[in-house]
């Protein structure tokens, strides 16, 4: 069965996350239904990351095995037609080797967390960013984030239901962008690692927001990390601002 990699974009608000579940709608379920409209025998689709309810993606990657050969363009066009009107789109498609795997072949995941700081409610960006009322000190947030870079035991920033075998992960990079926004600030936190724990990025974002708001000194992030105690984490940010922006592979299947 020929295997195809797909880059996928979606608005996470209507879904209970990526993973197929009994009852609630999911991104995986909708994609599999679209593929099975073309080929009823398509096996379950595997993805690079299982995003939670309400989390968005511009660079999710998944793969599917088809019964016959398709040109990647025709396959993506056909799948997108069957996805309508769901807010999911295949933005790139490529034929890959039979042993290529969206999850296990991946070498890094990239996430962005978006915070809009302003007093007025969000309208056009409602559900697409975490709105906080007060202004944030981005330099202080950068200072706090430096303590998170590298290999650490991230128990403090790990959900109690996390199924990872170990809380030890390596965070390769954290950077910040600040953009003009009507009546406030548009702050984007970019994170890169081979893999992340459940709720790790949202835990980072909620903790760093406390630093930016002046409620925490940047050094308190280091204290919380070293405590290895979930109770020492700042508030967990909502899913609205979280976006899976990319997955890295030894060779990019969409440009090879």
For the annotated catalytic residues, the residue numbers are: 52
Task: Please give the full DSSP string across 203-242, using - where no structure is assigned.
Answer: HHHHHHHHHHTTSS-THHHHHHHHHT-GGGS-PPPPGGGE
Q: Which residue has the tokens 């909502």?
A: 238
Q: Where are the alpha helices (DSSP H) in the chain?
A: 27-38, 72-83, 138-145, 200-212, 219-227
User: Do residues 106 and 186 make contact, with C-beta atoms less than 8 angstroms apart?
Assistant: no
Rounded distance between C-alpha atoms, residue 220 and residue 203, angstroms: 14
Rounded distance between C-alpha atoms, residue 209 and residue 64, angstroms: 39
Rounded distance between C-alpha atoms, residue 81 and residue 64, angstroms: 17
Cα 238 from chain centroid (whole Å) = 13
Looking at residue 45, the DSSP 8-state letter turns out to be P
Rounded distance between C-alpha atoms, residue 207 and residue 126, angstroms: 22
């Amino acid at each position: 069965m020929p295997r195809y990699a797909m880059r996928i974009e979606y608005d996470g608000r209507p879904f209970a996350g990526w993973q197929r579940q009994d009852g609630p709608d999911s991104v995986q379920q909708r994609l599999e239904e679209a593929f099975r409209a073309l080929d009823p025998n398509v096996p379950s689709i595997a993805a690079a990351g299982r995003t939670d309810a309400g989390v968005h993606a511009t660079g999710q990657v998944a793969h599917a095995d088809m019964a016959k050969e398709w040109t990647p363009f025709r396959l993506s066009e056909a799948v997108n037609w069957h996805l309508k009107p769901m807010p999911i789109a295949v933005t790139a498609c490529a034929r890959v080797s039979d042993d290529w795997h969206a999850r296990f072949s991946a070498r890094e995941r990239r996430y962005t967390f978006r915070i809009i700081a302003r007093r007025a409610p969000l309208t056009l960006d409602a559900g697409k960013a975490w709105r906080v009322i007060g202004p944030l000190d981005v330099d202080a947030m950068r200072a706090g984030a430096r303590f998170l870079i590298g290999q650490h035991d991230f128990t403090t920033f790990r959900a109690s239901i996390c199924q990872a075998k170990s809380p030890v992960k390596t965070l390769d990079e954290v950077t910040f962008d600040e953009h003009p926004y009507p009546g406030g600030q548009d702050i984007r936190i970019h994170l890169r690692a081979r893999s992340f724990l459940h709720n790790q990025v949202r835990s980072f974002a909620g903790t760093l927001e406390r630093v930016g708001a002046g409620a925490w000194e940047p050094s308190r992030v280091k204290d919380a990390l070293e405590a290895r105690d979930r109770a020492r984490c700042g508030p967990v940010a909502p899913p609205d601002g979280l976006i899976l922006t990319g997955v890295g592979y030894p060779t990019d299947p969409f440009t090879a």
